[in-house]
Chain A
Amino acid sequence: MAATRSANPVAKAWRRIPGAWRQPLTIVGFVLVATWLLVALLAPWIAPYDPLAQSAALFQPPSAAHLLGTDELGRDVFTRLLWGARISIPLAMMLVVLAFTIGGTLGGLAGYLGGWIDELVMRGADFVFAVPTILLAMAVVAALGPGLFHAVLAVVLVSWPGHARVVRGLVRSTMQSEYVAVGRLLGSPAYRALAVDVLPNVAGPVIVLAALEMGNAILLLSALSFLGLGARPPAAEWGSMVSTGAEHFEAWWIGVFPGFAIVSIVLAFNFLGDSLRDAFDPKAIIKARGA
């Protein structure tokens, strides 16, 4: 149908982006992400208490004084939840940037050069794909010792192949397209083909992937913290707050609300990624990403 009309699906998708941004779920996602970013920035000023300040008011259920109650040390859950955004969001961003830098570079090289470099990179990626992310991450963190920084390293180590596959696939398909061949015939150098033809075509899908990966990164980081391999107490990290809540079933508010925080931010990124993916050629990203 419409697909036959335009030779370049990505260029077409770019034109469709404004429409995609008008989707209700995109707006919800965008507003949620923006809100959480603001919370992360402003937490010290908008949080009613000190996130680490203990008080005698232990296990207080949600009330006007403590919107989401207090935990086992009398700390305000609402305050800690707001401060949690300052841990999870910047770390996840850093992580996605790192994973993309590593994965994108390797994938780009593999796609552009081919040959044994391609083989090496893709077999490495296959290996990481074959071992469940959390097993590998757990092994790495356990080996390096628990801690947020090590958890980030572990998640980078398990998430670079996704980026590598996408970039490699896109670079290869662009390199095979006719306009790159024409450029080469006209005698333009390889780096020009990369900068002018390949990069703009890769940018769109990469943005989509970054949004989806942000969600996954937050999930995996909080899972590691939940297992006690990421953030250490008393840090106000959402995953470890849920883990504290698991020990106090009668005080459900300790664990339940941080979970909602994770769901809302991950869902927001998934809303963004999913609707933007519909705007681009969905198959390119799905195929390249593998899952």
Chain B
Amino acid sequence: MAFVLTHIVPSDPAVANLGDRASSDPVAVRLYRQHFGLDKPLPVQYLVYLGNLLHGDLGESEQSRRAVSTDLAEYIPATAELAITSMVLSCLLGITLGVIAALQRNRLTDQVLRVVSLGGMSTPQFWLALVALYVFFYLLSWVPGSGRLDAAVLPPPHLTGFFTIDSLAAGQYDVFVNSVQHLILPACVLAAFNMGLFTRFTRSAVLEVLENDYVRTARGKGLSELTVVFRHVLRAASPPILTVVGLAFGNVMTGTVLVENIFAWPGIGQYSYRSAIALDLPAIVGVMLFVAIVYILVNMVVDILYGVIDPRVRLE
């Protein structure tokens, strides 16, 4: 479907990629089309694409002149490092704040947390990223500016593509510190929206569980509030929270497009933006496919986790 969608558009990628001068030359346009198979009818193009896809070939990027899979392999680790860090941050913060809000229901803390979480969901990420850069980089110089590492720092030997892990594995602690410094600000900016989302959902999920008799029983037995929350409430409340966490991976990808562009983070967010501008169809379709697969995988893992948490799901 992604394939059809990106092909039924009126713009001509040949014109977009060759530039105005070259596209006025019919020979150049014809050669370009032949090179990328654009001269064949659409159904043929689709079959060729599907056939190539079967052995992992996503086609050639019309912009970088490299295989899309090569491009993706280069950019995915950077995005994954950023996205996972931000997901961990937003889960930790969001779930904690959500539990607090539910326990303090309708008191001042709850109202303040409601404003904070809705604020996180209402702030444009591109603006938050700029304000964060302005304050922490331009004014305070607490963090280095853009990119994954300082220009003078060489990336660690390639292992996972995650600079934090690779540098630790190679024992390069200065590189590790530098990469964390670069990572922390974009990850926090990216986490803001989901933090708000998770707080809201955890709150309503926990509130529902708190009404149950077994929670009253647990409290009646004299268990400490912490035990009640962690052993009884959170476990019962986790399926809906997990669902939202799974769905929120889409939000992270949306966020990376904006955040990576502002922080010059060399990941697929920036890559997809460049490809969209250049109408680089194989690249766009490749990114969409990859992201959709990740999304489906994440939500499959969520489904499996349901079974781990809730024995009733396993029996069915």
- A116-143 interface bits toward B, Cβ cutoff 8 Å, 1 = contact, 0 = none: 0000000000010111111110111111
- A211-247: which have CB < 8 Å to B? 215, 219, 222-223, 226-227, 229, 239, 242-243, 245-246
Interface of A is mostly: helix
**CB < 8 Å A-B pair total:** 144
**B291 and A242: CB pair below 8 A?**
no
Q: How far is the CA of A263 from the CA of B287 in the complex (A)?
A: 30
Q: A145 — which chain B residues lie within 8 A by C-beta? A: 11
Which residue of the partner chain, among B111, B126, B248, B287, contacts A135 with CB atoms under 8 Å? Answer: B287
Name which residue of chain A comes closest to B268, CB basis.
A135
| Stretch from B172-180, B218-226, B272-280 contacting the other chain | B272-280
Bin chain B's interface residue count.
35 or more
Q: Which residues of chain B are within 8 angstroms of A132 by Cβ–Cβ distance? A: 250-251, 253-254, 257, 291
Contact A144 B10 (CB under 8 A): yes
- The answer on a CB contact under 8 Å between B253 and A143 is no
Query: Which residues of chain B are near A263, meaning CB under 8 Å?
Result: 119, 122-124, 127
A266 within 8 Å of B (CB atoms)? yes
Number of interface residues of A (CB under 8 A): 49
Q: Does B262 contact A (CB under 8 A)?
A: yes
Q: Which residue of B lies closest to A273 (CB)?
A: B118
- 28 of the cross-chain contacts (CB-CB < 8 Å) are A1-B211, A127-B1, A130-B292, A130-B296, A135-B257, A135-B284, A135-B287, A138-B276, A139-B6, A139-B284, A144-B9, A144-B11, A215-B122, A222-B124, A245-B130, A246-B262, A249-B138, A252-B134, A255-B130, A259-B123, A259-B130, A259-B131, A262-B127, A263-B122, A266-B122, A266-B124, A267-B118, A286-B240
The 3 closest A-B pairs by CB, nearest first: A143-B9, A259-B127, A132-B253
| A-to-B contact residues, CB < 8 Å | 1, 24-25, 127, 129-136, 138-145, 215, 219, 222-223, 226-227, 229, 239, 242-243, 245-246, 249, 252, 255-256, 258-259, 262-263, 266-267, 270-271, 274, 282, 286, 290-291
